[in-house]
Amino acid sequence: MDTESVRVLIGAGFFMMLLVLRLEAKRFGAAEYDEPAEPRRGPWTRISWYLIGLVLLGSLYVVHPAPHDVLSLLAGHRSDVINYGAIVALLGLATAAVVAWLRYGYLRFPAPGAYPGATINSIATAVIDEATFRGAVLGGLMTIGLPGGWAVLVSTIFYILVTRTAAPGRHWSTFLLAAFIGLACGWATVASGGIGAAIIGHAVTTFAVFVFTGHAGHVPAFGREPEEVEFRRSPPKGWHDARLSVAAGHGELSALARSPLFSGSVGPSGFSSRVGREARKSASPGLMARMRLRGGPATRKPATRKTARRPSS
């Protein structure tokens, strides 16, 4: 066995370690489908995932005998990177906006303090994913003779399976975004001859999803957002809580009056007066939720009580 074959085998080992690291992203709090209610890992745990991934990519690049020709681990020509990256980025912005509109009916901007972490997560995850799936996987498939279109499709399916975005319990938007990233970034890689444009498009798409939905990638099902829970628990429009009126008449506020539901305080997610915003939007949960509500059973009108007639004497 010659030296080049040994280097290929060692590079394959580093590639398998990258796949294992991507499969275990949830343990580091770096997965797209992390639920907002789950306990968050510390920042150094997530940073360690980025560092391990970058070290493995650097090792693969150094050990493999042909990282440019076989694995496509190069940025590509600057003009192609800018042009194709801008196309994928614009398509990603549109896809993220459509997902937010279908789910919420409006753009759900997150708290300002969450933007720095989301920016780092979008860029670092884009570099690791694109180098792994659009670089090593897609480049390897094309090297063995698979046509470009089929190679993009196979690498997209492989990307969806490894990231577990199509697993049971995931929101449909998670699978849609993963399929878009795989197909669009794969096309940009084949067209530009490198992964630079794919990294730009991937990073912009994931950051746009965060800005438009308030989540890094996984959007909860209808009725699980904090503002939706508060709106469902609030009294109907035009109703008044008698307990609040009685407490105000005695010059004191009850525990219910001091609750965040009636105080209008800023919640942990950074939004203020979510109940008021939902009321102004007529409780519009998004197109898909409205279709489910319209397809449900019709509500019955309360039966009126009729007085019985006495027999005439």
Over residues 266-293, the pLDDT tens digits come to 444 444 444 444 444 444 456 655 565 5
Q: DSSP letter at 266?
A: B
Tell me which of 153 and 227 has the higher pLDDT.
153
Contact 118, 227 (CB under 8 A): no
pLDDT band at 215 (very low <50, low <70, confident <90, very high): confident
Q: Chain-wide mean pLDDT for the chain?
A: 77
pLDDT score of 6 more than 60: yes
DSSP string, 25-88: GGGGT--TT--TTSPPPPHHHHHHHHHHHHHHHHHHHHHSS-TTTTT--S---HHHHHHHHHHH
Q: Hey, what amino acid is at 3?
A: T
Residue 184 to residue 89: CA distance in whole angstroms: 9
Residue 120 to residue 123: CA distance in whole angstroms: 5
Report if pTM > 0.75.
no
What is the distance in angstroms between the CA of the first residue and the CA of the last residue of the chain? 116
Flag the least confident range among 3-12, 65-74, 110-119, 205-214.
110-119
Identify the pLDDT of residue 205.
Answer: 94
pLDDT score of 130 more than 60: yes
Contact 70, 140 (CB under 8 A): yes
Residue spans of beta strands (DSSP E) within 80-206: none
Q: Average pLDDT for residues 89-110, to the nearest whole number? A: 88
